[in-house]
């Protein structure tokens, strides 16, 4: 009876040891699978010689994009890899940054030295629909702002005689208005009479584009200015 009890106890101990061993092995395999899964989540991209590190989740944001198709294990794209296993993409790395950041957080963020047209080109290449729409709207907004006109005061200083001054004041048109008159005295004598000269300051509000050429007014004040000398 004693011998039988000892055998039973040894059997129980062995079974418990085997169970612990199996549990440890299962835990080790599960941990290894978790590590491998995390490693597979990270993707390397070699864009124009610059390496980018991102996640499979980020590149899968747009299921119709080139980047989503690139990382599929059985996709139709057969892209070469470099010596570090990074996908090789022959594009401009500087303009790829805004594309990747958009996939990360959904916002268009880029350096001021980058042209919106360059970002649009990359968005179209990678076929990221929402980014294409966003950049096109940004370009339209920029162009509308640049083509906006504003009013600018244009001043002219005319030198004229007393007779020319009377004619100029009576015929001045096209929005020109008188600002100031300065008597600069007699410049020359003709016979026994002194001829008084004046400086006349006139101004006009002219529409002008922020980036376009300034509007050149043409009116009678301009003709009178050519007759006199400019200060």
CATH number, domain of 174, equals 3.30.70.2000
Take residue 92 and report the two structure tokens written for it. Answer: 């401009």
Are 47 and 124 within one domain? yes
| 141 plus 184 within the same structural domain | no
- Separation CA 99–CA 3 (nearest Å): 77
Report if residue 95 sits inside a domain.
Answer: yes
- Tell me how many domains the chain contains: 2
pLDDT at 194: 61
Domain's final residue, options 146, 179, 207: 146
Report how far residue 183's alpha carbon sits from residue 135's, in angstroms, rounded to the nearest whole number. Answer: 59
pLDDT tens per residue, the chain (231 residues)? 554 555 555 555 556 556 565 555 555 555 554 444 555 789 999 999 999 999 999 999 999 999 999 998 776 777 899 999 999 999 999 999 999 999 999 999 999 899 999 999 999 999 999 999 999 999 999 998 887 767 788 888 888 887 777 777 777 777 788 888 888 876 555 544 567 788 888 888 877 766 555 555 455 445 444 544 443
Assess if residue 24 is contained within a domain: no
pTM here is 0.54
Give the end of a domain, one of 111, 146, 181: 146
CB 67 within 8 A of CB 59: yes
Q: Based on the domain organization, do 142 and 206 belong to the same domain?
A: no
d(CA 55, CA 116): 26
Distance of CA 200 to the CA centre of its chain: 48
Domain with 219, as residue range(s), is: 149-227
């Amino acid at each position: 009876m004693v011998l039988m009890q000892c055998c039973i106890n040894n059997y129980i101990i062995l079974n418990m040891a085997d169970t612990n061993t199996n549990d440890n092995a299962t835990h080790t395999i599960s941990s290894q699978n978790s590590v491998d899964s995390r490693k597979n989540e990270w993707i390397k991209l070699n864009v124009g010689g610059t390496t980018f590190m991102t996640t499979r989740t980020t590149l899968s944001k747009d299921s119709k994009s080139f980047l989503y198709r690139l990382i599929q294990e059985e996709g139709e794209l057969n892209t070469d890899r470099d010596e570090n296993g990074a996908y090789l993409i022959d594009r401009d790395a500087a303009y790829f940054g805004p594309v990747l950041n958009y996939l990360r957080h959904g916002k268009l963020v880029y350096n001021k030295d980058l042209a919106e047209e360059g970002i649009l080109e990359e968005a179209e290449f990678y076929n990221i629909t929402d980014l294409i729409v966003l950049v096109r709207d940004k370009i339209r907004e920029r162009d509308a702002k640049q083509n906006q006109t504003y009013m600018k005061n244009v001043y002219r200083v005319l030198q004229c005689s007393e007779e020319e001054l009377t004619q100029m004041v009576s015929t001045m048109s096209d929005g020109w208005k008188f600002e100031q008159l300065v008597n600069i005295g007699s410049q020359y004598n003709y016979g026994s009479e002194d001829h008084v000269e004046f400086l006349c300051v006139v101004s006009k509000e002219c529409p002008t584009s922020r980036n376009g050429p300034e509007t050149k007014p043409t009116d009678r004040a301009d003709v009178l200015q050519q007759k006199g000398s400019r200060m």
